Copies of this chain bind each other. A is one copy, B any other.
Amino acid sequence: MIDAIDRAILRRLQEDGRMTATALAGEVGLTVAPCHRRLKELESSGVIRGYSADVDPARVGLGFEALVFVTLRDRQNMKAFEAGVAGIGQVIEAQRLFGEPDFLLRVMAEDLPAYQRFYDDVLVGLPGGRKVD
């Protein structure tokens, strides 16, 4: 199914997702044709979900990143909170935990003041709870 060569391909592709099949072939010790076949197979079978550019947040005006731990006042609101948070672009990641706290949010903002405004204006408007970090 997935052998050592496939793993080499995946490893290399995680380091440089823009590699061409030709360059890949050389590095994993294959010629282009079989390498390209494997690559397509990995993509279509869902092992490779996609490719993305790694953008430096600080360079695009988002220099401040914060981790916010959220404990809900009322656990009935779990779903509502999850849905609300999904609609906020500044929330990069929302991890649902089991136990205290309930959620881990990764939030981006321009800077500390901007984060504070975001915190006051947006986060407290959700059916949420107390900040921890």
Chain A residues within CB distance 8 Å of chain B: 2, 7, 10, 13-18, 45-56, 59-61, 67, 95, 97-99, 104, 132-133
Docked Cα-Cα span, A107 to B95, in Å, equals 14
A87 → B minimal CB distance (Å): 17
Which B residues lie within 8 Å of A133 (CB)? 97-99
Query: What is the copy number of this chain in the assembly?
Result: 2
What 4 pairs between A and B have smallest CB-CB spacing?
A17-B51, A13-B53, A47-B59, A18-B51
Contact B7 A52 (CB under 8 A): no
Please give, as numbers and ranges, the residues of chain B lying within 8 Å of A18 by CB-CB distance. 17-18, 51
Across the interface, which residues of B come within 8 angstroms of A54, CB to CB? Answer: 48-52
Extra contacts, 4 of them, besides A17-B52, A67-B95 (Cβ < 8 A), are A10-B55, A49-B56, A51-B52, A52-B54
Chain B residues contacting A47 (CB-CB under 8 Å) are 55-56, 59-60
Query: What are 30 pairs between A and B in contact, CB < 8 Å?
Result: A2-B59, A2-B60, A7-B60, A10-B53, A10-B60, A13-B53, A14-B53, A14-B55, A15-B50, A15-B52, A16-B51, A17-B17, A17-B18, A17-B50, A17-B53, A18-B18, A18-B51, A46-B56, A48-B54, A48-B55, A49-B54, A49-B55, A49-B56, A51-B51, A51-B52, A52-B52, A67-B97, A98-B133, A99-B132, A99-B133
